[in-house]
Amino acid sequence: MEFNIDEMKEQYVDHPFDEVEFVVDAEDMVAFAQACGETAPHFLDPKAPDFRAVPNYASRYHGRRSLPKGFPVNMMASFDAGKSVEITGSIRAGDRLTARSHIHDIFEKTGRSGGMLFIVHRMEFSNQDDIKVSTVDWRMVVRLDMTRDKKAKRGAKTQSGES
């Protein structure tokens, strides 16, 4: 599949496509922190003063959909290349978070292993007081050569009479 990056950007970047709410659970906060090897009481003990979630806690939440309707990429063909979390406020037990999603950027990179399409999915989290607490950028990658190779193979099969 060939992608027209400029067209995709115009159609999808900065257009909100999902909004969902989550209630923050203290037990999950503690288990998340323990599993990551945190040792500070303010991440592990719900009774500790200033008990709060670890900085990347919001990255565990997912919206109802990962890509906008009609987005010309199959999620199953992509892989998770990384996450960036910006922390602008504390996430506390019992908080009601609202997460809004949009595509933040789309770009192509060519490396030694071929071309790759990067899709940056951004989720912005605000709490019940409308304070922005976290922004999570999820970089999804699709190998362009793989999709092109498949297309070429399909074409070759079709030409040789196979289907």
Where on the chain is the footprint of other proteins (CB under 8 A)?
Answer: 27-29, 31-40, 43, 54-56, 59-60, 80-87
Shortest distance, position 50 Cβ to other proteins, whole Å: 10
Shortest distance, position 70 Cβ to other proteins, whole Å: 26
Shortest distance, position 8 Cβ to other proteins, whole Å: 23
b/e map of 136-158 (b: 16 or more CB within 10 Å)? bbbbbbbbbeebeeeeeeeeeee
Nearer to other proteins, 42 or 148 (CB): 42
Nearer to other proteins, 33 or 144 (CB): 33
d(CA 61, CA 32): 12
Tokens matching residue 113: 């292993």
b/e map of 46-56 (b: 16 or more CB within 10 Å)? eeeeebbbbee
Nearer to other proteins, 84 or 158 (CB): 84
Shortest distance, position 98 Cβ to other proteins, whole Å: 18
Nearer to other proteins, 3 or 118 (CB): 118
b/e map of 68-97 (b: 16 or more CB within 10 Å)? beebebeeeebeeeeeebebeebbbbebeb
